[in-house]
Amino acid sequence: MDEVLLRSLTPSVLAILVHRGADFAAAEDAVQDALVEAVRVWPADPPRDPKGWLVTVAWRRFLDATRADTARRRREDLVDEEPAPGPAPQADDTLQLYFLCAHPSLTPSSAVALTLRAVGGLTTRQIAQAYLVPEATMAQRISRAKRTVSGVRFDRPGDVATVLRVLYLVFNEGYSGDVDLAAEAIRLTRQLASAIDHPEVAGLLALMLLHHARRAARTAPDGSLVPLAEQDRGRWDTESIAEGIGILQAALARDRLGEFQAQAAVAALHADAPTAGETDWVQIVEWYDELARLTDSPVVRLNRAVAVGEADGPRAGLAALAGLDDSLPRHTAVAAYLHERDGDLVTAARLYAEAAEKAPNLAERAHLTRQAARLNARLRH
Amino acid sequence: MAKYLLLKHYRGAPAPVNDVPMDQWTPEEISDHMRYMSDFAARLEKTGEFVDGQALAPEGTFVRYDGEGRPPVTDGPFAETKDLIAGWMVIDVDSYERAVELAGELSAAPGAGGKPIHEWLELRPFYGVSPTITE
């Protein structure tokens, strides 16, 4: 049984239940139950109409749960056995679900968890494993999130930007576990792109595809980070790159530039270079200029300083770095790199060691410590 | 989405405001303190922010490798050890500010006289994952 195919039915089944009058929280629980049941039953007894099967089972679960509640409340309410005649599910139901799960009233971690469950069809256990928290904690996070959005109308249009931020988080800060969160983020962004025609959705999808294409080359067999310039470009996934570039070009042609398209353009220029030495750094600097105009983010200006260092030499890079707050994450690492390129190995070694102390994760710390050790060994000879 | 360790020390942290050793409290004050701690953990579980919480016995042993084929060497406990960890709580929160807020609440656990201990807790960030997109 194809679990991804099964999960791809989640949003539309959920939307049908909501249209029949189930409240979102109860409908979502019922769909989750139906998915678990499908995983159990389908391998031996595959249904002819998977979606119809899921709707039937989920609706029955919803009625059972509602009846149990009703019994507890001494049958104060009666529930219709028959589905309420609601409007037929719309093509943009999936889109509404994305909006709801990324609602601005949710914290980022709640929005991520709810999106993965209600749109992605992952189980609470899978999400808990992926983010390294106990299942009970994740269950509470999800049910709180559902309570938070319970008053939000399902048919109100939302802001695509909030959805994109959630999907970006899933892609970029995914932990491990038996679910590949980067692949899941790509699947959900692809599904979103088919529900709404928006250049920034396309931009994010392109960005993800272009980065995912380099994944195999990003880490050495021992788990250490391999910097972009040292990656074996033969291990990049050319199919994914071609798809990302195609999507990006179509988006850029619409002339509604946004930050994800600009970021994807940078990634595309890296992906396009047959060797690190052939990277078109001048164009990359131009894209960072665009990004700085769009976002005014200090992180963008830091990345721009790196690109300037490659395009115009390390002195120019250091000059670009000089105006930036040195408490920015990775500022010291960038300074170390530019000083090394400039030939000042003593300063570079000191800064690499300092950057290692401030690294936000173990892989980067190890990488920076190795850089410091490499320079210190050279300085001793 | 970041994990933090809240470290509680037997020794090594600056002195708390309500600095009365636990064995001088009344039994009720001890019960109230324990209840506060478990209520705090239960509340964090409800908010979806709890990861783990453990308490450690104060008496520990130092152990080190002593060469091929030889049993490990053990030593201690050392009375002079400056930093003695009493326990921890691991939380998974959306921001550093939220982690500080929760540490502050935990530090308000009641002690002698039923008043907050104002105990110093050490807040340490976990290393996160290396993000996919860095350039």
Asked if residue A379 lies in contact with residue A347, where contact means CB atoms within 8 angstroms, the answer is: no
For residue A146, give the H/E element and its range.
helix A135-148
Mapped to the 3 state alphabet, what secondary structure does A39-107 carry?
HHHCCCCCCCCHHHHHHHHHHHHHHHHHHHHHHHCCCCCCCCCCCCCCCCCCCCHHHHHHHHHCCCCCC
Q: Rounded to whole angstroms, how far apart are CA atoms B76 and B82?
A: 13
Task: Supply the pLDDT for residue A78.
Answer: 47
Distance CA A210, CA A314 (A): 27
pLDDT of A200 = 98
For residue B83, the distance in angstroms to the closest alpha carbon of chain A comes to 21
Give me the torsion for CA of A257, A259, A261, A262, rounded to 10°. Answer: 90
Distance from chain centroid for Cα A144: 22
Fold of B2-125: Alpha-Beta Plaits (3.30.70)
Of A138, A171, A173, A224, which to mutate for an interface test with B (greatest number of B Cβ within 10 Å)? A173
Q: What is the pLDDT of residue B72?
A: 95
Which pTM was predicted? Answer: 0.88
Q: Which chain A residues are within 8 Å of B45, Cβ to Cβ? A: 134, 136-137, 140
- Amino acid code (one letter) for A229: A
CB-hemisphere CA count at 13 Å for A221?
0
Helix, strand, coil percentages in chain A from 3-state DSSP, rounded to 5: 70, 0, 30
**Looking at beta carbons, which residues of chain B come within 8 Å of A269?**
none
Rounded to 5 degrees, what are φ and ψ at A325?
A: -65, 125
A-chain CB neighbours of B5 within 8 Å are none
| Alpha carbon distance B59, B78 (integer Å) | 9
The B residues from 48 to 77 touching A (CB cutoff 8 Å) are 48-52
Q: Domain ranges in chain B?
A: 2-125
- Least confident segment among A177-181, A194-198, B33-37, B109-113: A177-181
pLDDT, tens only, A233-251: 999 999 999 999 999 999 9
Q: Do B48 and A137 touch (CB under 8 A)?
A: yes
B53 CB neighbours in chain A (<8 A) are none
Q: How many residues does chain B have?
A: 135
Q: Do B130 and A364 touch (CB under 8 A)?
A: yes
Contact B130 A110 (CB under 8 A): no
Mean pLDDT per 10-residue interval, chain A, length 381 residues: 87 91 93 94 93 96 88 56 51 85 95 96 94 94 94 81 96 78 95 95 98 92 89 97 98 97 98 96 97 93 96 97 92 97 97 93 90 94 80
The number of angstroms, rounded, from the C-alpha of B13 to the middle of its chain's C-alpha atoms is 11
- State the best of A137, A148, A263, A368 to mutate against chain B, taking most chain B CBs within 10 Å: A137
Q: A235 with A254: CB under 8 angstroms? A: no
Angle of the A345-358 helix axis to the A362-380 helix axis, nearest 10: 160
In this structure, the number of other CB atoms found within 10 A of the CB of residue A202 comes to 26
| Distance separating alpha carbons of residues B120 and A306, to the nearest angstrom | 41
Interface contact A207, partner B, CB < 8 A: yes
pLDDT bin (cut points 50, 70, 90) of residue B81 is confident
Contact criterion met (CB < 8 Å) for A263 and B1: no
* pLDDT given at position B42: 94
Q: Tell me the two tokens of residue A83.
A: 């589905």
Band of pLDDT at residue B130, cut at 50, 70 and 90: confident
* DSSP string computed for A156-192: S---HHHHHHHHHHHHHT---SSS-HHHHHHHHHHHH
Q: Which of A211, A209, A173, A182 is nearest to A193 (CA)?
A: A209
Query: Closest to B132 (Cβ–Cβ): which among A108, A211, A359?
Result: A211
d(CA A137, CA A116): 15
ipTM of the complex: 0.82
Q: Which residues contact B54 (CB under 8 A, 6 or more apart)?
A: B87, B88
pLDDT score recorded for residue A36: 93
Which residue type is seen at A25?
Answer: A
Average pLDDT for chain B: 91
Read off the pLDDT of residues A64-79 as tens digits, 9 standing for 90 and up.
998 887 776 654 554 4
Q: What integer pLDDT is reported at residue A314 of this predicted model?
A: 97
Please report, for residues A65, A163, B117, the alpha-carbon distance to residue B17 in angstroms, rounded to integers and kept in the order given: 51, 46, 6
Distance CA(A145)–CA(A109), nearest Å, equals 10
More confident residue, A182 or B59: A182
pLDDT band at B8 (very low <50, low <70, confident <90, very high): very high
CB spacing of A361 vs B127 below 8 angstroms: yes
Map out the domains of chain A as residue ranges.
3-72, 93-196, 197-219+232-276
Closest CA to A189 of A138, A260, A141, A135: A260
